[in-house]
Amino acid sequence: MSRLQLQKQLVGLFLASSPSVWWSPTRRRLLSTRSLLAKRRNKKKRKMEKREDLRSILPYLPVVMRSSTLFWPSHVVEALKELARGPLHSHVDSGHILFTAIEDIRNSLSLSSNSLAPSTSLGYSLFFDELMTREESRKWFEEVVPALGSLLLRLPSLLEAHYENADKVLNVGAMIGTGLRMLDSQEAGIVFLSRELIAALLGCSLFCLFPDHDRYMKQLQIINFDQLFAYGIYSFSFSLSLYEDYSQKQESKIRCIIHYFQRISSDMPKGVVSLERKVLPFEGDADLISYPNSNFWSTSAIPLCKFEVHTSGHIEDQSGEAVEVDFANKYLGGGALGRGCVQEEIRFMVSPELIAGMLFLTAMEENEAIDIVGVERFSSYTGYASSFRFSGDYVDERDVDNLGRRKTRIVAIDALCSPGMRQYREKFVLREINKAFCGFLYQFKYQKYQKILQENGWSSEQFDASTLTYMETSEEEISNHEFEKFQNNYQRMEQGNNIGVATGNWGCSAFGGDPELKAIIQWLAASQALRPFIAYYTFGLEALQNLDELSAGNIFSLRWTCFDVKILSRNFGFDIVQVASWILSQRWTVGDLWNMLIEYSTKRSKGETTVGFLQWLLPSLYGHGARFNSSNSP
């Protein structure tokens, strides 16, 4: 050994045994920081294992957790890596081989192939190998499938990041949980999901990776896409596979979903989506509006809001910031992932991010609604039900709010199904108006109104009568100083106060309700919820005039005993505009119109009248004498 080598060894031993020399202040700070970060990471992981929200949803997710870490089983990781490398490595270049790869991944997750719908494999083969053009198929397998493989590999880390930040989303003083969790019936709450996480979850749906053994018992919707490619959700439907019973509308539904994956694989959307279960408590709550009774409605002094009618266009085409009503099934999404293709299912196809709610939102009860904010529309379409067709890309230009959500607000409310004559009984009119009220109500807004009421020393009558009237009164006409003060306070409230309701024939067509009854019910609910206007889309009543084309109507074999469609042969939009204008000219309150509606419904349920509400209220529109003079009110 040379002298130089010996010196280096001695210096090395000296440095190793001399902390004061080797542990410089800079290195000590660096190692201390690393240690602190490692401790924080371990603490977060231990905390995640104890999270009730994660524990509630974990049995319904395809990933597993061990030692506070979420991960894919090793065989799944390898399979996804192969997909991510492209068809030259994975050999996945057809629908048949894709489904074989899906089955292999499902086997690695111990998911039974028997739980998939019959003909699922044939449906995947038919769509990707025959219905797609050769160029579409090439791009799908060379570009989109590898991108989805990479995205699913990131699902565990996306979920961990989600839970680490879940309680910070709202940035409010009180702790409000926003993490992904099971939101059961009567459990009011909100979940915020990044749009990238939603994309990963929908990728799992496409690959049929969600466990489904307990979803039915939990009153949860199907979430895998096997039935979308195979058959409808209705247990009494036979031979309804895409392969065995091809239909263009079913192909178009799948094309909407595939188009979504094509878009997000090349440009992952930013921002978040919020999904909220809203509940009107049956029992009294000092801080919340409870489930109203008939007296609540009959004594309401709140004025009716504006009523706008649109005889063309669709709800989702509205250019303002109105809440868009989803004519929902009690199971969110209805037949979206089966063979359903009416209003709700179409909305879910053109905005597939809505499907994420089907993962964790159980069936709605009569006092519940579901509110979803932030989804993007990706597809254009034409037609309705059997005539539904995918017609290409859609560029959604809605702005984003300060929480990162696109300003698209959708509320899902389920109406009575096939109600017949019982829909005119007060009990069921009350059920429907409270359902709509739950969906349209913004509880926080009510609390702010109550605070202003107390600060100004107003009575409830003064409060109710002026809250919406001011919007139709110019500042020059207002002479009361206190009211001007109220108006200024009102205008400084959250922006959401000026958001109306965009709706239409909710609970009609496939559900079998009376459009005139439902229109008035929604108007009352929107007014009571302090919405400034209701924009009513009649759809030209196509859905009512072509009942034979409604697949859902055929499946349920509806008998339209509740009302005669012939009463709508006139211009429904024109009639309701005339009636609404007359009612507003009389300055009716919510209570006034409710009482008239109950009087009509009672007569209708007893068989004392057979005409629609509009004709009963204003016979002059139909060539008879008016029930009220223009100068009278009830």
Which residues are designated catalytic? 326, 344-345
Beta-carbon neighbour count of residue 568 at 10 Å? 21
SS3 215: coil
Altogether, the residues listed in the chain come to a count of: 634
622 known ligand binder: no
**The sheet that has 533-537: what strands, in order across it?**
189-194, 272-279, 368-373, 409-414, 323-328, 501-504, 533-537, 306-310
Q: Structure tokens of 608?
A: 């004392």
| DSSP tag of 287 | T
Q: What is the CA radius of gyration of the chain?
A: 29
Contacts of residue 399, defined as CB under 8 A and 6 or more positions apart, other chains included, come to 406, 407
Question: Alpha-carbon distance 81 to 256, whole Å?
Answer: 26
Question: Alpha-carbon distance 362 to 378, whole Å?
Answer: 26
Residue 454 falls in which region: left (phi positive, over 0), alpha (psi -120 to 50) or beta: alpha
| DSSP tag of 141 | I
Question: Alpha-carbon distance 21 to 9, whole Å?
Answer: 16
Closest of 64, 375, 397, 411 to residue 194, by C-alpha: 375
Question: Alpha-carbon distance 203 to 221, whole Å?
Answer: 17
384 known ligand binder: yes
Whether 123 and 54 have beta carbons less than 8 Å apart is answered as: no
Beta-carbon neighbour count of residue 14 at 10 Å? 11
234 known ligand binder: no
Question: Alpha-carbon distance 591 to 310, whole Å?
Answer: 26
Binding site feature residues for substrate: 329, 343, 384
Binding site feature residues: 329, 343, 384
